Chains A and B, each alone.
Chain A
Amino acid sequence: MIRIKNLNKSFNGTQVLSNISVDFEPGKTNLIIGRSGSGKTVLLKSIVGLHDIDSGEIWYDELLFNKLDFNEMKEIRKEIGMLFQGSALFDSLSVEQNVKFPLDMFTAKSEGEKLDRVNFCLNRVNIINANKLFPSELSGGMKKRVAIARAISLNPKYLFCDEPNSGLDPLTAILIDELIKELTEEYSMTTIVNTHDMNSVMEIGEKIVFISEGKKCWEGSKHEILDSDCKILNDFVFANALAKQLKSSSK
């Protein structure tokens, strides 16, 4: 379980996150939703320690993550897999080397064992015969899948995804969403996904946290989201014409 208590974060005097408290449940796909610029990415990067927070607590199970020193934090990070918005694959490494990188760094496995694990992870995300390709030779969807394969190569306990289907066509986006949900269940990971894609919310959202202007405005399940009386949330969820029609017809 990841527990956030009264988290505050500002940049150069501008408050970006205000007093956020939320529990992210293990074995579930937790979603942070909100408009662009609402503070989702800052929250996600604060949770993984890429941003230092101003005040508050970030707990990974029994460990107060934001008070750990660099080396202790490194140990937790070995249990974290992260999918970045732009995939963040290493340009100078091939697909195979990208997925093998965490194994090279943190395991004492033989070369054969590492390659087996790489191929297993790549197969799991449906990347076939692309081991020797470089990131520049991959499509957006393939890059995301390779990044997922890299993120799961060390069997992480926690998976973080920042806008996993941004820039992807609707079908590929659904495939990525399904993959994240399947992997979360398969490995009983605590998964936190940042998104503003309502398809993702309805497809994979088990616990949803809505953020607006750096504040937590609502949390609940995907079933509760449609009946919420939170105006800002409704404005966000039912922003497009199709969703508005759906809402009125359901009434």
Chain B
Amino acid sequence: MLRFLTQLGQYFILLKKVFSKPEKPVIYYKQTMHELVYLGLNSVGIITIISFFMGAVITLQTAYNTENPIYPTYLIGLGCRDSILLEFSSTITALILAGKVGSNIASEIGTMRVTEQIDALEIMGVNSASYLILPKIIATLLFNPFLTLISISVGIFGGWIAGTSAGVISSEDYVYGIQYAFIPYYVTYAIIKTLFFAFIITSVSAFQGYFVEGGSLEVGRASTKAVVYSSILVLLFNVILTQLLLS
């Protein structure tokens, strides 16, 4: 318990350092642009692939589990849309990014720690926490909502391809279903969740990397911890946010 509280305290002290005034904003801007490409743009591929198959499976599962003459078939499209919008795109995307981006951040910062690159920054008078972590947080906060929107679009498209190819729903019914009783707030809800998840993944992973002590073995462990802790926190905050935003 004491260890947990110590770590929690360390985490908030680190955040205070991260959000202090940047030494030279133009350098931070350049770093943020770099991170947008590195952490954001480079994740588009994996998110697209996963979302496509996720949408496809949701459509097929919905179709095979609601085979009943009293249910209109367009409900398959509606079910697919709402599942993707409310849960899968924001949460599954966050879990995938916790694995990809989280381990990347923890190992990058952890390696910089054990090879004294962070000490070198501190010696120069640079606020290393802010310089290394703030651009990553800004980049993921800016880009992850786009990843979620991409995921939603591709997921729904994947559902259409799978549903019509397997013959479980006609194209017209699917398109009607995804438009039926559409609640725009669900998109806002997905984006709000994504912003929280982006912050959790980036800050928790950076925290794990920043306080690494030892060598490559410890960097590997920090990387694993980053994925595990940020995934658990994403799931925990998913419950809290769902209750807060949809109740």
A interface residues, Cβ below 8 angstroms from B = 45, 48-50, 74-75, 77-78, 80, 82, 84-86, 88-91, 101-102, 104-106, 160
Contact = CB atoms under 8 A, between A and B. Distances in A.
Provide the main secondary structure of the chain B interface: helix
B116 A88 contact: yes
Given A105-B24, A105-B27, A77 B117 contact: no
Contact of A78 (B24, B27, B112, B125): B125
Given A85-B116, A105-B126, A106-B23, 8 more contacts: A50-B119, A77-B123, A78-B124, A82-B119, A84-B116, A88-B115, A89-B117, A91-B112
A-B pairs with the 6 shortest C-beta distances? A77-B125, A88-B120, A88-B116, A74-B125, A78-B125, A84-B116
Interface of B: 23-24, 27, 111-112, 115-117, 119-120, 122-127
16 contacts: A48-B123, A50-B122, A74-B127, A75-B125, A77-B125, A86-B115, A86-B116, A88-B116, A91-B111, A91-B117, A104-B27, A105-B24, A105-B126, A106-B23, A106-B24, A160-B123
Nearest to B20: A70
B27 A84 contact: no
Contacts, number: 55
B117 A88 contact: yes
A90 B120 CA distance: 9
A104 to B, nearest CB: 6
B237 to A, nearest CB: 31
A75 B126 CA distance: 10
A84 to B, nearest CB: 5
Nearest to B123: A82
Contacts of A82: 119-120, 123
Nearest to A102: B124
Contacts of A105: 23-24, 27, 124-126
A137 B103 CA distance: 25
Contacts of B117: 88-91
Contact of B122 (A77, A86, A91, A101): A77
Residue in B23, B112, B117, B123 with the greatest tally of chain A CB atoms within 10 Å: B123
A185 B40 CA distance: 49
Contacts of B115: 86, 88, 91
A223 B45 CA distance: 66
Contacts of B122: 49-50, 77
B35 to A, nearest CB: 11
Contacts of A90: 112, 117, 120
Contacts of A48: 123
B57 to A, nearest CB: 38
Nearest to B26: A104
Contacts of A86: 115-116
B24 A104 contact: yes
A85 B23 CA distance: 27
Nearest to A90: B117
Contacts of A101: 124
A53 B98 CA distance: 37
A160 to B, nearest CB: 8
A94 B117 CA distance: 14
A102 B115 CA distance: 19
A160 B119 CA distance: 13
A104 B124 CA distance: 12
A106 B120 contact: no
Nearest to B38: A92
B76 to A, nearest CB: 48
Which of A75, A85, A90: most chain B CB closer than 10 A?
A: A90
